[in-house]
Amino acid sequence: MSARLLALSQPRWPRLLLLLLLLLEAAPGPCPGSAFYLPGLAPVNFCEEEKKSDECKAEIELFVNRLDSVESVLPYEYTAFDFCQASEGKRPSENLGQVLFGERIEPSPYKFTFNKEETCKLVCTKTYHTEKAEDKQKLEFLKKSMLLNYQHHWIVDNMPVTWCYDVEDGQRFCNPGFPIGCYITDKGHAKDACVINSEFHERDTFYIFNHVDIKIYYHVVETGSMGARLVAAKLEPKSFKHTHIDKPDCSGPPMDISNKASGEIKIAYTYSVSFQEDKNIRWASRWDYILESMPHTHIQWFSIMNSLVIVLFLSGMVAMIMLRTLHKDIARYNQMDSTEDAQEEFGWKLVHGDIFRPPRKGMLLSVFLGSGTQILIMTFVTLFFACLGFLSPANRGALMTCAVVLWVLLGTPAGYVAARFYKSFGGEKWKTNVLLTSFLCPGIVFADFFIMNLILWGEGSSAAIPFGTLVAILALWFCISVPLTFIGAYFGFKKNAIEHPVRTNQIPRQIPEQSFYTKPLPGIIMGGILPFGCIFIQLFFILNSIWSHQMYYMFGFLFLVFIILVITCSEATILLCYFHLCAEDYHWQWRSFLTSGFTAVYFLIYAIHYFFSKLQITGTASTILYFGYTMIMVLIFFLFTGKN
pLDDT at 455 over 60: yes
Distance CA 99, CA 122 (A): 32
Computed over every residue of the chain, the mean pLDDT equals: 84
User: Which stretches within 211-335 are classed as H helix?
Assistant: 288-291, 297-334
Core vs surface per residue 366-393: b (16+ CB within 10 A) or e: bbbbbbbbbbbbbbeebbbbbbbbbbbb
Distance CA 638, CA 307 (A): 22
Decide if 356 contacts 531 (C-beta within 8 A).
no
CA proximity to 638, closest of 489, 485, 360, 444: 444
Range with top average pLDDT, 153-167, 238-252, 344-358: 153-167
Distance CA 465, CA 456 (A): 8
Instruction: Summarize pLDDT for 284-330 with one digit per residue, the tens.
Output: 888 888 877 665 555 556 666 766 776 777 677 777 777 777 777 67
pLDDT at 530 over 50: yes
Per-residue pLDDT at 568: 86
Of 18-22, 339-343, 522-526, 596-600, give the lowest mean pLDDT range.
18-22
Handedness of CA 443, 446, 452, 453 (dihedral sign): negative
Instruction: Summarize pLDDT for 147-191 with one digit per residue, the tens.
Output: 999 999 999 998 999 998 877 766 778 889 999 999 999 888 888
pLDDT at 552 over 50: yes
pLDDT at 12 over 50: no
Gap between the terminal Cα atoms of the chain: 9
Distance CA 100, CA 470 (A): 10
Distance CA 296, CA 543 (A): 13
Instruction: Summarize pLDDT for 77-126 with one digit per residue, the tens.
Output: 999 999 999 887 778 888 899 999 888 999 999 999 999 999 999 999 99
DSSP 497-552: PPPPSSPPPSSPPPPPPPPGGGSHHHHHHHHTHHHHHHHHHHHHHHHHHHHS----
pLDDT at 23 over 50: no
Instruction: Summarize pLDDT for 478-523 with one digit per residue, the tens.
Output: 999 999 999 999 999 999 888 877 777 777 777 777 777 778 888 8
Decide if 632 contacts 407 (C-beta within 8 A).
no
The β-bridge partners of 184 are 190, 205
Per-residue pLDDT at 2: 37
* The residue count for the chain: 644
Per-residue pLDDT at 355: 80
Per-residue pLDDT at 26: 36
CA torsion 629-635-638-640 (nearest 10°) is -90
Per-residue pLDDT at 274: 95
User: Which phi and psi (to 5°) does residue 252 adopt?
Assistant: 100, -170
Instruction: Summarize pLDDT for 393-442 with one digit per residue, the tens.
Output: 878 889 999 999 999 999 999 999 999 999 999 888 999 999 999 999 99
Distance CA 356, CA 586 (A): 8
| The residue type at 85 | Q
